[in-house]
Structure 1
Amino acid sequence: MTTYNLIIADDHKMFIDGLMSILNDAPEFNVILTAKNGAQVVKYLDINGAADIHLLITDLTMPEVDGIELNNIVKERFTSLKTLVVSMHIDGTMIDTLIRNNVDGYVPKNAEKEELLEAIRSIVKGEKYFSSEIKKAYTDAMFASKKEKEISLTNREKEVLKLIAEEYTTQEIADELFLSKHTIESYRKNLISKLNVKNLAGLTKHAIKIGLLDD
């Protein structure tokens, strides 16, 4: 039977103890190091190398060196070592960052024992593994990002939006831009539709988001 050597990095002892208990029922896995943060892992790898280590299981939020930075270091300096993130944080942008930096898998901390073992076994055999919950968060984030990029405003629309956010009335905006009140009302309706918001408060939030109110 092939034995796979693992490292676990997590600053919560209860999680490490729970994972060790799960792995005790899987004799093909041998945990050679448990660490409280990424810095301890990097120090170990710098001294011992990663040639005999098959998988690093890491949390994301840890002191000194977090899971994202740890994954980056491993992928740059110890390219043979696989990485699996096990975290409570399910954020699409964070997942995208990890995928861009070649993480091998990601499962939430509330995953069932069977799925966690499936993820570990898949990755040590050279496959990628992302739980369905992680895949959904990632695709939702990418769709939202794509949709955001597709929304483009003309310079005039930006001018109207900025004045709306600064609480100008329709008549005041018309006077400021030398346009008719009817034209400004049309701009306002188009902006609400284009940005998919419900009211002027939503327009104001978008103006802040894209920096129109910055000094």
Structure 2
Amino acid sequence: MKESNHYQVIIADDHAMFVDGLRSILTNEPDITIKLTASNGEEVLKYLQINKDEKIDLLITDLNMPKMDGMALNKAIKSQFYGVKTLVVSMMEKPNTIKTLTEDNVNGYLSKNSEKKELLKAIRTILEGENYFSPAIQQALIKGMTDAKKMQEIKLTKREKEVLSLIAKEYTTQEIADELFLSKHTIESYRKNLIAKLQVRNLAGLTRYAIENNLA
């Protein structure tokens, strides 16, 4: 990194305490200036559209935000403002979320539980032209890829998916039977077969599987 480089950063997060904490960390970095703090993605896009001639090097964003969340913001940034790098800092570590963000060319991802040292390492790594994904995020991504491969091997029928979806929505056996116009005994059989087929132990396992695979 050349000493003459000076970087301009935008922070998007609707939690004031996190923004204040990040501001206090970056204040001690003489070559980094925070140009904007925003509580949602719409504010960021509006700023960039109005200030097109201003060079923004990095966006640090949360995922859960009102109006426009971090995933939508990252995708919009990558399609409209090619020079802006993006770093997601979030409590969410769902494999599907991480996979989608990597497909949308996010430059980094780490947990909000990360220490100051790792946060600065991520920021510096991305500003210097490389991507940064924390070890925990890399593990979650690998797990997601492994789970996706397993899911491809497991073929669920349309009816099994319907039963699984209703289980995840906390329907009782009788309610599922009424919803699908089947007998209670048939639904119990579906439930037992799904537990065996998906190699989970109980209803909680079925629910988790449904959520992780967007069936809930």
Q: TM-score range by the shorter chain?
A: 0.7 to 0.9
1:33 Cα shift? Answer: 0.7
What secondary structure does 1:83 align onto? strand
Partners in 1 of 2:58 and 2:184 — Cα distance?
A: 54
1:102 aligned to which of 101, 105, 113: 105
CA distance in 2: counterparts of 1:67 and 1:114, whole angstroms: 23
| 1:1-215 → structure 2 map (5 Å cutoff) | 1=3, 2-49=5-52, 52-152=55-155, 167-168=185-186, 194-198=197-201, 205=206
Shift of 1:140: 1.0
How far does the alpha carbon of each residue in 1:148-197 deviate from its partner, in whole angstroms, 9 at most, with x for none?
Answer: 11123699x99xxxxx995249xxx9xxxxxxxxxxxxxx99x8765324
The residue type equivalent to 1:167 in the other structure is H
Indicate conservation of the 8 Å contact 1:38/1:67, yes or no.
yes
Tell me the matched-pair count.
186
Quick one: distance in 2 between partners of 1:137 and 1:86? 15
The residue type paired with residue 144 of structure 2 is: A
1:51–1:80 Cα contact (<8 Å) kept: no
In the alignment, the residues of structure 2 paired with residue 103 and residue 123 of structure 1 have an alpha-carbon distance, to the nearest angstrom, of 10
How much has 1:42 moved relative to structure 2? Answer: 0.5
What is the DSSP-based 3-state SS (H/G/I as helix, E as strand, rest coil) of the residue aligned with 2:35? Answer: strand
Distance 1:12 1:154 in 2: 42
Q: 1:50 to 1:77 in 2, by over 3 A?
A: farther
User: 2:167 is matched with which residue?
Assistant: none
Aligned-partner SS, 1:22: helix
Alpha-carbon distance, 1:25 to partner: 1.8
Partners of 1:84 and 1:71 lie apart in 2 by 9
Q: Which amino acid aligns with 2:74?
A: N
Distance of 1:104 and 1:22 partners within structure 2? 20
Q: Structure 1's 114 and 165: CA in aligned 2 closer, same or farther, altered over 3 A?
A: farther
Q: Which runs of 4+ in 1 moved over 4 A?
A: 191-194
C-alpha spacing 1:12/1:197, structure 2 compared with 1 (3 Å): closer
Corresponding residue for 2:168?
Answer: none
State the distance in 2 between where 1:59 and 1:197 align: 32
The normalised TM-score by structure 1 is 0.75
- Aligned-residue Cα RMSD (Å) equals 3.3
Q: 2:73 & 2:137 partners in 1: Cα distance?
A: 20
* TM-score, length of structure 2 as denominator length: 0.74
Distance 1:57 1:167, change over 3 A: same
Q: Residue 50 of structure 1 contacts residue 81 of structure 1 at CA under 8 Å; is this kept in 2?
A: no
Write the letter of the residue equivalent to 1:35: A
- What SS does the aligned partner of 1:98 have? helix
| Secondary structure of 1:167 counterpart | helix
